């Protein structure tokens, strides 16, 4: 059983390292530059802002996947984020969804996430929900 788990873990790590399956010419520009279809969303939270270009490369790739609607490398990507920490603005249940931002060298999902609200706002947390920054997309 341990060998099977190791193989699954290695396969997931390879998938994350390679990014989503797409033609290299179609994927490279979207993953490294802001998407032309990004609509500016105002910051409704009062939290500090981080520009999309300031996110780690893995965070920018996760944003591309969110915009494309997947496919996502982790089964927990797209699940409801309940905001138990109350750092983000309070909204009704199911308003927020969370997505993994892989951390190089981690054997699991790591602590980094992007949380997306139904109104299009997105937040980055490098420390598993202890703190958040509003993502200024397209910047």
Q: Which residue has the tokens 């996430």?
A: 113
Beta bridge partners of 115: 98, 123
Q: Give the count of beta carbons closer than 10 Å to the beta carbon of residue 114.
A: 24
What's the DSSP call for residue 137? T
> Which of 58, 98, 121, 137 is the catalytic position?
98
E strand map for 24-87: 49-51, 79-81
Q: Is 52 a catalytic residue?
A: no
Q: Is 58 a catalytic residue?
A: no
> Which of 52, 85, 106, 128 is the catalytic position?
128
CA distances to 24, 46, 66, 110 from 100, rounded to whole Å, are: 22, 23, 10, 8
Active site residues: 98, 128
């Amino acid at each position: 059983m341990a060998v099977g788990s190791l193989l699954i873990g290695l396969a997931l790590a390879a998938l994350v390292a390679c990014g989503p399956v797409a033609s290299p010419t179609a994927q490279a520009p979207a993953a490294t530059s802001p998407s032309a279809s990004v609509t500016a969303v105002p910051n409704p939270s009062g939290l500090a802002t981080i520009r999309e270009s300031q996110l780690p490369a893995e965070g920018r790739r996760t944003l591309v996947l969110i915009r494309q609607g997947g496919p996502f490398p982790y089964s927990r990507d797209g699940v409801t984020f309940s905001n138990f920490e109350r750092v983000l603005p309070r909204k009704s249940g199911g308003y927020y969804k969370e997505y993994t931002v892989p951390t190089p060298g981690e054997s699991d999902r790591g602590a980094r996430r992007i949380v997306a609200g139904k109104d299009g706002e997105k937040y980055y947390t490098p420390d598993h929900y202890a703190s958040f920054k509003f993502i200024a997309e397209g910047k």
